[in-house]
Amino acid sequence: MSQKNEKSIIDEDSFEAVESTLTRTERYIEENKKSLSIIVAAIVLIIGGYLGFNKYVVEPQEEEAASQMFMAEHYFAIDSFKVALNGTGEYPGFLEIADEYSITKSGNLANYYAGVCYLKLGQYEDAIESFKKFNSDDEMVMTLALSSIGDAYLELGNTEDAISYYKKASERKPNKFITPMILFKLGTIYESVNNYEAALEAYKKIQSEYPKSSEGRNIRKYVARAKYKVNS
């Protein structure tokens, strides 16, 4: 058989295969036309609903929440934490903003502010609750929130949970500003519970990875002390 004839047969077979596939697809569409129409309509409705919800509900609330935050942030900046938290009557505080505008970025951020206020006021369980409601794509702020939960647990005398949250914070997108501070906290807590091996590990990480940080400049004596305790 000539090469030309072979090519012709292959082309015919390929065409028949494609035609068969198209026929099956067309038959499936025809048999399931109603179901497919419902699915397509549902997808369009969901997308349209999502876009409409964002435009007519979320965006107006976002603008309103941002404007409401102004006075609460002002009181926070001057250390009037109770007022910042609860509002003045005329202006809402972070608690009200977090509740009323929970679907907005400002409402989410209000949870973080509320957590800090509670922490400053010594209301540690409330601080933990507020921080746990907060979530952010900003790695530095999220790291601070996790570390603050650790602070609150430590103040409550719960060293186990404090260590857990400090570890989460130290391992989340490490950076030279916050991570050495958290590692130092970890080291001192480990020492307080006589876990000198873990304390040494935290201190040595500061020494090797963050030597120019404020913690790193004075870390040698802590490394030496932890080493001595490990070898005692």
Phi and psi, residue 103, nearest 5°: -85, 0
pLDDT beyond 50 at 46: no
Instruction: Check residue 65 and report its DSSP letter.
Output: H
pLDDT at 184: 96
Residues 67-121 pLDDT 10s: 678 899 999 999 999 999 999 988 899 999 999 887 788 899 999 999 999 999 9
C-alpha–C-alpha distance, residues 41 and 181, integer Å:
54
**Phi-psi map region of 89: left, alpha, beta (phi>0 left; psi -120 to 50 alpha):** left
Q: Residue 203's pLDDT band (boundaries 50, 70, 90)?
A: very high
> Does the structure show a pLDDT above 50 at 189?
yes
**Which letter, b or e, does each residue of 147-179 get, where b requires 16 or more Cβ atoms within 10 Å of its Cβ?**
bbbbbbbbeeebbeebbebbbbbbebebeeebb
124-133 helix and 139-155 helix, angle to the nearest 10 degrees: 160
Write the DSSP string, 12-50.
HHHHHHHHHHHHHHHHHHHHTHHHHHHHHHHHHHHHHHH
Average pLDDT, the chain: 81
For residues 118 and 126, the answer to whether their CB atoms sit within 8 Å is yes
- The single-letter code of the amino acid at 191 is E
C-alpha distances (whole Å) from 43 to each of 26, 49, 200 are 22, 10, 56
Q: What is the pLDDT of residue 136?
A: 87
Contact status, residue 118 vs residue 130, Cβ threshold 8 Å: yes
Q: What would the two tokens of residue 24 be?
A: 């099956």
> Looking at residue 53, what is its pLDDT?
38
| Backbone angle region of 195, left / alpha / beta, with phi > 0 → left and psi within -120 to 50 → alpha | beta
Q: What percent of the chain has pLDDT over 90?
A: 57
Closest listed residue to residue 97, CA positions, set 69, 59, 134 = 69
Q: Which are the contacts of 213, defined by CB distance < 8 A and separation ≥ 6?
A: 176, 177, 180, 181, 206
Q: List, in order of start, the domains of the chain with CATH numbers.
A: 61-135 (no CATH), 137-232 (1.25.40.10)
